Structure 1
Amino acid sequence: MQCWGLVPDHVRVVGNEARAVIISDRRITGLSSDVIAELVAEVGPLWHERHQAKLESRPRKRAVGAGAKHRLVFVDRLLATLVHLRHGVTHDVLACWFGVDRSTITRAIGEVRPLLAARGCTIAAGVRLRTLAEVIDHLGAGGQAGIIDGTEIRVRRPAVGRKDREKFISGKNKQDAVKAMVLTDADGRLLFCSPAQPASCADITHARQLGLVQYLNRGPVVEILADAGYQGLGAQTGGRVVTPPHRKFKDPPDWYEEIYTRRRKAHSSRRIRVEHGIAHLKNWRALARHHGRREHMSDTLQAVAGLLSHQQTATRGTRQGQ
């Protein structure tokens, strides 16, 4: 399916040849042409619906077809958003590339990004997980283990005198950042990425605020692997959250140190998959270091997670079909 064929003939912004290059080269957007075509078919009607609702809500009514025409059609708006998320390209550069004003690019990304964030993580064709409760039910139904970890993304420091300025400082890295909790399955497939929180929030506190303890206690029996930052959740969830073992002795004998090291290494080997999942997220430059508004970080995180999981599912389906 060629999604650039949906663009009317009278619209010439990037040009059909340039648009075809953007869509066909996965290095530009991080997504295959098939996935982009599915995004156009799914998100396009939602964007048009919101746009029409916004027009109809205005006190002054215009006749159908009246008013200024879009110089940037939806396909180009989607492509601009994907390039921005994948490579962190500034709005000025995208405006020059697409031949429109910078404010048009800013408005386009602001409209498309929340639609991408609301899609959730794709685990199969037409099957998505949007909440932590759905993820726990999915793992329990399949008898799978999950892996959680927190990741931090550097952001600009709030202005001097701003309220709660210090809450963005990470206790670990001593830098201004926001934090998100990532959950994958035992194979490292992305299942959930939480909204962003100021980095001063501890990992275990963030997990509790998201309701992980309640979902595990009320839902199916699921094993969740975690690092030492989540120690204490095991006792609250009946052992369903598994963290590295504690050191029992201050000056341990040699035989105990060998057992302790072996157990920690075994746990780390099982948990390493979530680190790979986070690394794939950070390959999208918008999450390597965020230079924009902190208020957009939650949408950016969840939009990238949804796009990455969609591409992973599509790639896995292609390999299984070969």
Structure 2
Amino acid sequence: MPTWARAACSQPALSGGSRAHFGELLEELAPKWEAARESALRERRGGDRRRAAGAGPRQRLVFTDRLLVTLVHLRLGLPHAALAHPYGVDRSTVSGAIRGVRQLLAALGFAVPDRPGLRLRTLEDLFAYADAEGVELRLDGTEVQVRRRASHPGRKAFVPGKMKQNTIKTTTFSDGQGRTPFSGIV
């Protein structure tokens, strides 16, 4: 793995946060990712390990790189193929990495800027916070077109809408200062 790719992605201009904040995020999420990965492997094996930890094929992207790629993608919206190239991996590897880390970030919740330790995990949390603090919320809805493979015959018949394209609908909330306390896929 080229170390220059990790160095480039860890720049605050690309990742969206300081290196100290990235270290804290890495420290908090890495054990959760490792536990989820080990649980999935255990389920797939149907029991305990037969070999020592670390045996078998190596990860194409270690967790540090997975987190960096996800943060850069979320901040800049770069295509997965563009993020895969510096690391020398396939687009599908980056797609899987982003999918896994996004689930961890969603479970972690959104930090409230002026209230350290408070995290908003659900819409109910957001509305309760806004009501208690007197925060006026602004709502933005966005559709992003996605390509879907035809998984079975007749798949085209089920593509919705006038443009006949599938979309992912994202709803983002912001406060009066333009900060984002919550964003989610609806």
The normalised TM-score by structure 2 is 0.77
Give the SS at the match of 2:22: helix
**What is the deviation of 1:78?**
1.1
Indicate the residue corresponding to 1:90 in structure 2: 79
Percentage of pairs with the same residue: 36
Q: Kindly indicate whether the alpha-carbon contact (under 8 Å) linking 1:122 and 1:129 is maintained by their aligned counterparts in 2.
A: yes
Kindly provide the CA deviation profile for residues 115-140 of structure 1, in whole angstroms up to 9, marking residues without a partner as x.
12222221133220111221222233
RMSD of aligned residue pairs (Cα, Å): 2.9
Shift of 1:75: 0.4
Superimposed CA distance per residue, residues 138-169 of structure 1 (whole angstroms, 9 cap, x where no aligned partner): 23333x13223232233147777332512888
Which of 97, 111, 119 aligns to 1:122? It is 111
Query: In the superposition, relative to structure 1, how do residues 97 and 126 fare at CA in structure 2: closer, same or farther (>3 Å)?
Result: same
Partners of 1:84 and 1:182 in 2: CA distance: 17
Rounded Cα–Cα distance in structure 1 between residues aligned with 2:52 and 2:109: 34
Give 1:178 shift: 4.7
Structure number with the higher helix fraction is: 1
Partner in structure 1 of residue 16 of structure 2: 30
| Structure 1 residues 21 and 152: alpha-carbon distance in aligned structure 2, compared to 1, 3 A threshold | closer
Report what 1:165 is aligned to.
160
Map 1:109-188 onto structure 2 (within 5 A): 109-123=98-112, 124-142=115-133, 144-156=134-146, 161-163=156-158, 165-166=160-161, 178-188=168-178
**d(CA) in 2 for partners of 1:98, 1:161:** 35
How far residue 26 of structure 1 moved from its aligned partner, in angstroms, is: 1.7
Q: Tell me the residue number matched to 2:46.
A: 59
Paired amino acid for 2:131 = G
Does structure 2 retain, via aligned residues, the 8 Å contact 1:120–1:130? yes
Aligned residue for 1:72, secondary structure, equals: coil
Q: 1:45 to 1:168 in 2, by over 3 A?
A: farther
SS at match of 1:165: coil
Question: Structure 1 residues 183 and 89, CA, compared in 2 at 3 Å: closer, same or farther?
Answer: closer
Q: Which runs of 4+ in 1 moved over 6 A?
A: 157-160
Counterpart CA distance in 2 for 1:128 and 1:181 is 18
What secondary structure is seen at the aligned counterpart in 1 of 2:158?
Answer: coil
Q: Which runs of 5+ in 2 are unaligned?
A: none
Residue correspondence of structure 1 range 74-85 to structure 2 within 5 A = 74-85=63-74
Q: Bigger relative contact order, structure 1 or 2, given CA contacts below 8 A and separation 6+?
A: 1
Contact 2:168 2:185 in 1 (8 A): no
Q: CA deviation at 1:18?
A: 4.7
Structure with the larger strand share = 2
Instruction: Tell me the secondary structure at the aligned position of residue 116 of structure 1.
Output: helix
* Structure 1 residue matching 2:96: 3-state secondary structure: helix
Q: Distance in 2 between matches of 1:152 and 1:92?
A: 23
2: CA distance, partners of 1:86 / 1:188: 16
Aligned equivalent of 2:59: 70
Task: Specify whether residues 29 and 162 from structure 1 end up closer, same or farther in structure 2 by C-alpha distance, changes over 3 A only.
Answer: farther
| Higher-Rg member (1/2) | 1
SS at match of 1:45: helix
Aligned mates of 1:177, 1:86 — CA distance in 2: 20
Shift of residue 183 of structure 1? 2.9
List gaps (5 residues or longer) in structure 1. 1-12, 170-174, 197-322
Partners of 1:26 and 1:162 in 2: how far apart? 45
Q: How many residues align?
A: 176
1:42 aligns with 2:28: yes
Secondary structure of the 2:94 match is helix
Code of the aligned partner of 2:14: I
> How far has the Cα of 1:46 moved from its partner?
1.0
